[in-house]
Amino acid sequence: MTIDFSQLTPKTVEFVLARTNESGPFGEDLFFFIVSSDGLFRIASSEATSFFDWLKSFPDVAWENSIEASLSTENRTFILWRREGPPLLSEKRRASLKERLVGLLTRAGINHDDAAVRSKELIDRYQSPIRGYHTLQHISHCLWELDRFPAKDFDRDLVELAIWYHDAIYEPKSKRNEAESAELMKQDLKGCDASKLERVSQMILATAHHLATEPMDKETQVLLDIDLSILGQNPLDYDVYVQGVRHEYRNVSTPIFYYRRKKLLRKMMKSSLYKLDYFRAQYAEAAKSNLSRELSSWKYKWIPV
């Protein structure tokens, strides 16, 4: 029996995807796919209207990903909906993130009105078109990982502040992103507990050296492990991450990008990646598998590293 995609429900669908390529604007460059327990469905352009009508019945769709896909001229995959895993940036998720950030800044010592202003400014930074991976989706994923982490012997608010600010300033070719992000955090929270701000600052600075092995406090270990948790996600999420990084370095020539990327991949393959047993158990094996799979790609075959 042939199944029409309109018969599929959230109970059987795993992912809804948009995939783009470099054929536009004169060739067909945007395709939609449904991954379900009933098979893989490719949506023809003639079915676009009925496809979007069908998708409207799903909860928490990342509609902005669909808009971004329609504007993309690169080889990328955009996840519009997923049944399980890190939540996507639906309108509901965006609103909850803003409310959460306002609450966090208020607890840190800022009055509510100023916290609302700072929250909007910070969230806007993560939505800059220059970003492909270091976006609000990355922050959302990090917070999801923090919420799932069961340990109680650390200061969650310190880690959350560091998560929100660790990529606040992001220029792909700059070596001062972490330092400038830490400085922005101190400016935004000026007048709050100075000792705590200094700790958060040092945590943000530590994200410039994920593979460092020197002793560090529990909060910093949690932050670094969460920041690298993307490496141990399912292959689809990992590939979306890699494509997002390439988007951020789209002005770097292909040979140079893959030469530097290959050096980083090999360095990560030799590292334990995660500091804490919890994240090591959750993600280390899958991370090494993803890194190895990327390294085996034809893109790296002729890169002399």
Domain finish residue from 68, 84, 100: 84
Whether residue 95 sits in one domain with residue 64: no
Has residue 256 been placed in a domain? no
Strand intervals (E) in the chain: 13-20, 30-36, 39-43, 76-82
Has residue 162 been placed in a domain? yes
Query: Three-state DSSP class for 226?
Result: helix
Has residue 246 been placed in a domain? no
Has residue 296 been placed in a domain? no
Whether residue 109 sits in one domain with residue 36: no
How many domains is the chain partitioned into structurally?
2
Q: Which residues pair with 40 in a beta bridge?
A: 35
Start-end of H helices in 189-253: 194-206, 218-227, 235-248
Provide the pLDDT for residue 193: 96
From residue 111, how far is each of 63, 103, 106, 107 by CA, in Å? 33, 10, 6, 9
Would the pLDDT of 1 be above 50? no
HSE-up of 29 (CA within 13 Å, CB side)? 16
Query: What is the Cα–Cα distance from 168 to 177, expressed in whole angstroms?
Result: 8
Whether residue 120 sits in one domain with residue 209: yes
Whether residue 186 sits in one domain with residue 75: no
Backbone φ and ψ of 62, nearest 5°:
-85, 80
Has residue 261 been placed in a domain? no
Q: Which residues pair with 33 in a beta bridge?
A: 17, 42
Query: Three-state DSSP class for 135?
Result: coil
Write out pLDDT tens, residues 98-123: 999 999 999 999 999 999 999 999 99
Query: Three-state DSSP class for 58?
Result: coil
Query: What is the Cα–Cα distance from 289 to 296, expressed in whole angstroms?
Result: 11
Mean pLDDT along residues 49-54: 95
Q: CA dihedral in degrees (59, 64, 65, 71; nearest 10)?
A: 150
Mean pLDDT along residues 253-277: 95
Whether residue 109 sits in one domain with residue 32: no
Whether residue 97 sits in one domain with residue 68: no
| 60 within 8 A of 90, measured Cβ to Cβ | yes
pTM: 0.95
Q: Which domain holds residue 4?
A: 1-84
Whether residue 59 sits in one domain with residue 22: yes
Write out pLDDT tens, residues 124-155: 999 999 999 999 999 999 999 999 999 999 99
Whether residue 158 sits in one domain with residue 114: yes
Q: How far is CA 15 from the centre of its chain?
A: 17
Q: CA dihedral in degrees (181, 202, 154, 207; nearest 10)?
A: 60
Whether residue 95 sits in one domain with residue 74: no
Write out pLDDT tens, residues 225-254: 999 999 999 999 999 999 999 999 999 999
Domain finish residue from 204, 227, 250: 227
